[in-house]
Structure 1
Amino acid sequence: MPPKRPRASKELHSSYELDHTDRRLLELLRDDARMTNQALSEALGVAPSTCLARMKALQQAGVIRRFTVDVNPRALGRGIEALISVRLRPGARQQMAAFGETLKKVPEVTQYFFVGGMDDFLIHVTARDTDHIRQFVLEHLSADPVVATTQTSLVFDHVAGPASL
């Protein structure tokens, strides 16, 4: 039985101690978040009740934030990806939150990051082709008065690395 761990809110203030079983459980879920509890417990060599308790503890501690699906953009006719760096105008810094909220509603945006450094946002988009990316930049970025500059980099390959466990 795993040692009792303190419950934490979704907003973590201290690190959560992972043991070997926790790490392996997270690896299995990262590879296939739809694995049944029975399959997970067999792969871990623990009882199903232990596996379920581990998963619940990881969720309550905020280590597991959500279960998700990995959608292949090519299967949806979006054969090209780009990363777009965006710098907002100095006088528009107070509108960063609103800019981010707007990005959430744009179908081409798969994810975005609010970053430090020279740029303010890094936006990951998927599109049909380069004309689609160009149209996205013109309509959703260049036309926005808070945007000062953009820089688009095409993604040749997108490989997810192992989560830092």
Structure 2
Amino acid sequence: MQKSENNLDPADVKILNILQEDGRITNAALSANVGVSPSPMLERVKKLEKNGYIRKYVALIAPEKVGKGTIVFVTVSLAMHQLAALDNFTEAIRELPEVLECYHISGEADFLLKIAVSGIESYRDFVVNKLTPIAGIDRIRTAFVLDTVKHSTKILVDD
């Protein structure tokens, strides 16, 4: 089998794409879909895990079902951009369970946060009690999600 530029052969590519759709698929079903017998399939999956292609397996929870249906995107600009200020902010953000994702970005802001809370009041409490006390924040801008048009965790792996 020919390997692609990402060092994966077509069977590995197919495995990764299938597992992203169904992380609970049985080894037997996966091997049938890919056309590889079960024993080598198990070894392939273990190798993909060991080499870091597969980070972990998770259940994707519906935020609204657990009382966290208000999704908010927040841009944060820092007053200073020295490494210590960046480290201080990122360490503090990692400790906040409301923050689902945090990206260090270019452009008008320094960071983009994705936050899940129960509503506007809980977002207000989050900002007042958890976000603004972090030293070095210059500006916070908020965008409430009105409707999710597309949400995917799948990264298309090309062969």
Structure 1: which 5+ residue stretches go unaligned? Answer: 6-14
- In the TM superposition, residue 110 of structure 1 has moved relative to its aligned partner by 1.3
Equivalent residues in 2 for 1:8-157 (5 A)? 16-90=6-80, 93-155=83-145, 156-157=147-148
Give the whole-Å Cα distance in 2 for the aligned partners of 1:24 and 1:161. Answer: 16
Conserved 8 A contact 1:92-1:146:
no
Give the whole-Å Cα distance in 1 for the aligned partners of 2:22 and 2:101. Answer: 21
Give the whole-Å Cα distance in 1 for the aligned partners of 2:153 and 2:41. Answer: 25
**152-161 or 23-32: which moved more?**
152-161
Higher relative contact order (CA 8 A, sep 6+): 2
Give the whole-Å Cα distance in 1 for the aligned partners of 2:55 and 2:139. Answer: 33
Give the whole-Å Cα distance in 1 for the aligned partners of 2:81 and 2:101. Answer: 25
Stretches of 4+ moved more than 6 A in 1?
none
Conserved 8 A contact 1:79-1:127:
yes
Conserved 8 A contact 1:16-1:63:
no
Give the whole-Å Cα distance in 2 for the aligned partners of 1:60 and 1:133. Answer: 39
Root-mean-square deviation (CA, aligned residues, Å) is: 2.2
Give the whole-Å Cα distance in 2 for the aligned partners of 1:116 and 1:129. Answer: 29
- TM-score, normalised on structure 2? 0.84
Match of 1:159 in 2: 151
**125-134 or 111-120: which moved more?**
111-120
- TM-score, normalised on structure 1? 0.81
Give the whole-Å Cα distance in 2 for the aligned partners of 1:145 and 1:161. Answer: 32
Look up the equivalent residue of 1:22 and give its one-letter code: D
Give the whole-Å Cα distance in 2 for the aligned partners of 1:69 and 1:115. Answer: 28
Look up the equivalent residue of 2:130 and give its one-letter code: H
Structure 2: which 5+ residue stretches go unaligned? Answer: none
Conserved 8 A contact 2:21-2:154:
no
